[in-house]
Amino acid sequence: MASDAVLNFTDEGFQADVLDSDVPVLVDFWAEWCQPCKMLTPTIDAIAEEYAGRAKVGKMNIDDHKQVALARNIQSIPTVLIFKNGEVAQTFVGIAAKDKITEALDAAM
């Protein structure tokens, strides 16, 4: 079960929620059928709780919202992108360690 702090990003809201955000944004591209994505979920949940109020942390289901995944050339999932000022500041493909992700998120602050 996802944490309440984890946002759900959509194709329709991506510009406003992610690109136009005044705080760093972590986007986890995932799908329901992806086992490694499920393994990464507790890490994303923990980061969302830890960074509540300082950064946006959310997930984007690539099966439900394909436009952004295609536009961003997401070829493998899970892929985690950290955005700062509308630009990708860091990319993680596959299961990344929590400390590596939080280090990148801190750098984007």
What pTM was estimated for this model as a whole? 0.94
Top-level class of domain 7-107 = alpha beta
Cα 9–Cα 91–Cα 106 angle in degrees, nearest 5: 85
User: How far apart (Å, rounded) are the C-alpha atoms in residues 53 and 74?
Assistant: 27
pLDDT at 2 over 80: no
Q: pLDDT tens digit string along 47-86? A: 999 999 999 999 999 999 999 999 999 999 999 999 999 9
Q: Which band of pLDDT confidence, cut at 50, 70 and 90, is reported for residue 3?
A: low
* Active-site annotation, residues: 34, 37
